[in-house]
């Protein structure tokens, strides 16, 4: 619902007619959102909700009556839409494998607490979920000594239960894929420091150590309750590791050094850099979007309105 709302609210502000393709995994929530918009007094027929396959909806990309497309999903699907849409305006919010850097002056307890939240909220199923954690070597042992037990203590179960910290993944196939990537990393030399087990769609919150940048758990989007933790010797090495990714939505940096912050802001290839918090930080009035394969354009109400409208110039000459 939230992903759709990020698009519908600015479109309503523009007075647009909208066609919303509901995700097959959760059509009922989309229909409920449609009811709310209808009851608010938005003109009848100005919002249509499609309950169909992606293939059935695809001809809308070619329809000349559709002037703008905004899509959230996989990089492969998003860039295919961009190529097919030709001259239409297109905004893409796609994949990510967000990284966190923890510098020597960081508040370690705070960094641990926020990294646990950032990596395992929504069972890691967010494009700005913390996936890669890079810790300065002077803090690495102390960080893992606190982070690993904190992750191991997370409780899995029914997401409707107040005692549950991490719920199941969207389906069993997604959990199986993530488990395969974990096994692949272990076979290549990684160590499972916490979790790693799977039962149906429930994947235990997992921490991997001794990974390399070329492993899929680092270089691709795992979209699961899995984080990797790696040490680094210096700032340049850490920035290179963060940028060693086809994605770039947001990154986190734990430090209180303003010079380090400005250097990181200039050099890290992301749409947003979050200081002393995790990449999952997002507020609706801020510009939000990625670079590289993570997409194009920006969301956030004002910025989405700019994406959905054409800037037009009127010049009045003297007579």
Confidence of residue 275 (pLDDT cuts 50, 70, 90): very high
What fold, for 99-275?
Answer: Aldehyde Dehydrogenase; Chain A, domain 2 (3.40.309)
Catalytic, out of 127, 204, 299, 307: 127
Q: What is the mean pLDDT of the chain?
A: 97
What digits encode the pLDDT tens for the residues 190-232? Answer: 999 999 999 999 999 999 999 999 999 999 999 999 999 999 9
Q: In this predicted structure, what is the pLDDT of residue 319? A: 86
What digits encode the pLDDT tens for the residues 131-143? Answer: 999 999 999 999 9
Q: In this predicted structure, what is the pLDDT of residue 25? A: 85
Q: Where are the domains of the chain?
A: 2-94+293-308, 99-275
Tell me whether residue 93 is one of the annotated catalytic residues.
yes
Distance CA 201, CA 174 (A): 7
Q: In this predicted structure, what is the pLDDT of residue 26? A: 85
**Structure token digits, residue 116:** 């646990």
Q: Above 90 in pLDDT, residue 159? A: yes
Stretch 91-116: mean pLDDT: 98
Q: Above 90 in pLDDT, residue 287? A: yes
Tell me whether residue 127 is one of the annotated catalytic residues.
yes
Percent of the chain with pLDDT over 70: 100
What digits encode the pLDDT tens for the residues 1-42? Answer: 889 999 999 999 999 999 999 998 889 999 999 999 999 999
Q: In this predicted structure, what is the pLDDT of residue 258? A: 98
Q: In this predicted structure, what is the pLDDT of residue 298? A: 97
3-class DSSP string for the chain: CHHHHHHHHHHHHCCCCEEEECCCCCHHHHHHHHHHHHHCCCCCCCEEEECCCHHHHHHHHCCCCCCEEEEECCHHHHHHHHHHHCCCEEEEECCCCCEEEECCCCCHHHHHHHHHHHHHHHHHCCCCCCCEEEEECCCHHHHHHHHHHHHHCCCECCCCCCCCCECCCCCHHHHHHHHHHHHHHHHCCCEEEECCCEECCEECCEEEECCCCCCHHHHCCCCCCEEEEEEECCHHHHHHHHHCCCCCCEEEEECCCHHHHHHHHHHCCCCEEEECCCCCCCCCCCCECCCHHHEECCECHHHHHHHHCCCCCCCCCCC
What digits encode the pLDDT tens for the residues 49-99? Answer: 999 999 999 999 999 999 999 999 999 999 999 999 999 999 999 999 999
What fold, for 2-94+293-308?
Answer: Aldehyde Dehydrogenase; Chain A, domain 1 (3.40.605)
Catalytic, out of 93, 204, 221, 307: 93
Q: In this predicted structure, what is the pLDDT of residue 200? A: 97
Q: In this predicted structure, what is the pLDDT of residue 116? A: 98
Confidence of residue 238 (pLDDT cuts 50, 70, 90): very high
């Amino acid at each position: 619902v939230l992903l759709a709302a990020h698009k519908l609210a600015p479109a309503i502000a523009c007075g647009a007619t909208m066609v919303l393709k509901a995700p097959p995994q959760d059509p009922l929530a989309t229909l409920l959102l449609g009811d709310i918009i209808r009851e608010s007094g938005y003109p009848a027929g100005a919002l249509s909700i499609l309950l169909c396959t992606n293939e059935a909806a695809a001809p809308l990309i070619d329809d000349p009556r559709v002037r703008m497309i905004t899509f959230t999903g996989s990089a492969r699907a998003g860039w295919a839409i961009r190529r097919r849409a030709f001259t239409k305006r297109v905004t893409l919010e796609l994949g990510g494998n967000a990284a966190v850097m923890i510098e020597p002056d960081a508040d370690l307890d705070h960094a641990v607490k926020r990294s646990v939240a950032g990596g395992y909220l929504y069972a890691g199923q967010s494009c700005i979920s913390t996936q890669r954690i890079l810790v300065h070597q002077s803090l690495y042992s102390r960080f893992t000594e606190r982070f690993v037990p904190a992750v191991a203590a997370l409780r899995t179960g029914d997401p409707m239960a107040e005692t549950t910290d991490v719920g199941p993944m969207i389906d069993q196939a997604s959990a199986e894929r993530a488990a395969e990537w974990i096994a692949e990393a272990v076979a290549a030399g990684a160590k499972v420091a916490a979790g790693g087990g799977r039962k149906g769609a429930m994947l235990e919150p997992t921490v991997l150590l001794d990974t390399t940048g070329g492993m899929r758990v680092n270089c691709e989007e795992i979209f699961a309750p899995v984080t990797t933790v790696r040490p680094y010797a210096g700032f340049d090495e850490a920035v290179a590791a963060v940028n060693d990714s086809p994605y770039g939505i947001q990154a986190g940096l734990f430090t209180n050094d303003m010079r380090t912050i400005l250097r990181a802001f200039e050099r890290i290839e992301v749409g947003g850099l979050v200081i002393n918090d995790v990449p999952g930080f997002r507020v609706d009035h801020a510009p939000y979007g990625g670079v590289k394969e993570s997409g194009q354009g920006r969301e956030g109400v004002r910025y989405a309105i700019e994406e959905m409208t054409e800037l037009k110039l009127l010049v009045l000459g003297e007579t």
